[in-house]
Amino acid sequence: MTTNSSEQVHEPADLSFNSKPIGDLFGQLPVNPDNFARCLLSEDQVAFYRANGYLNQVRVLTDEQCNRLIDEYKRFLLWSDHHHSTHGKDDAHRLDFPEKDLLYEYHSNQSADPNQVVTHMLGHWRVSPLFHDLLFLPAITVATSQLLAAVHPSQQTLLPVRFWHDQLFAKPPQHGGEVAWHQDYSYWTRTEPMQHITVHIALDDQTEENGAIHYVPGSHHWHRIEDGREVPLPITDIDFKDMESIKKVLTSEELAQFQPLPALLKKGHASFHHPLTVHGSYANRSSQPRRAAVLNYFVEGTRSDTDEPLLKGIPAVLRGEPLNNRFFPLVFDPKWM
């Protein structure tokens, strides 16, 4: 039986079927190993990361690439530069493109406070060719491989890297909210072992006035012991409302070391941080929006630690099985060099 063309249902295009760059942001992956080698960090940069748990001001995008991503960003915002949304969580149904159902999460304002707006989403790499290609960018993935290796028990200098998931954080002018202090791995214990890294990319200059990301140096050593295993600090505020809530679970020694520093990232620059590094950001009270793209990665061989789906809408990876399907593509392999 044939289906009338007027009755056909067209599924939204899912870019997770493309495990290589499409070519819209920077072209294709290099074929010359020297082009990967040019992206290597210096020994001093790697040493700083190892000592402090983060590394700031790594240029990864040109201004032109940032501007193109910002134009694309507007597809995902329910506010303009001069008008902020008063809505809140789980409201992807308000977006006006069919691929919205491919997003893992969408919150037009995760705090739900109209005076503290933080737009936060996951999964846009499956929707946008530009954000899809961002996760394969060698300026990001080569440095990621180095820094993952720098704190890995294998003691290698480079490791193969797979993509975990992306995020967008946007704070409108005047009403941009806070992102409470936290450790990323507190949200990721459904994967193991802990061999992850986060890349925070500034698409606008970040200042103390507009809510720059801040890091607590040395906090990548902070953990707890449960059932003989090292675990991250507990989640103290999943909706970003109480900036200082993490202090309730810190030891007196950790409180004494709690001295956050602003990254003050320039447009097109990234910071890389360890999955236990405590970080957060204050409100945007400036006259300009503050937008960032975040990419999360892990070492190839990372496994599922749950029988439930790791992200909304994707098939479950059974506990103990490696994360190596199309939703977690290989983005860099030292063999390419």
With a pLDDT cut of 70, the percent of the chain lying above it is 95
Residue 35 tokens, joined: 């082009």
- pLDDT score at 88: 83
The pLDDT score that the predictor gives to residue 10 is 44
* 175 backbone dihedrals φ, ψ, rounded to 5°: -110, 10
Q: Is the dihedral of CA 170, 18, 199, 202 positive or negative?
A: negative
pTM of the model: 0.95
Report whether 91 contacts 108 (CB < 8 A): yes
Domain ranges of the chain: 31-336
Task: Classify domain 31-336 at the CATH superfamily level.
Answer: q2cbj1_9rhob like domain (2.60.120.620)
User: Which single residue is written with the structure tokens 């008063």?
Assistant: 86
Looking up tokens 């003050």 gives 264
Mean pLDDT per block of 10 residues along the chain (337 residues) reads 44 89 96 96 98 98 98 89 71 92 95 91 97 98 98 96 97 94 98 98 98 98 94 92 94 98 98 98 96 98 98 97 98 97
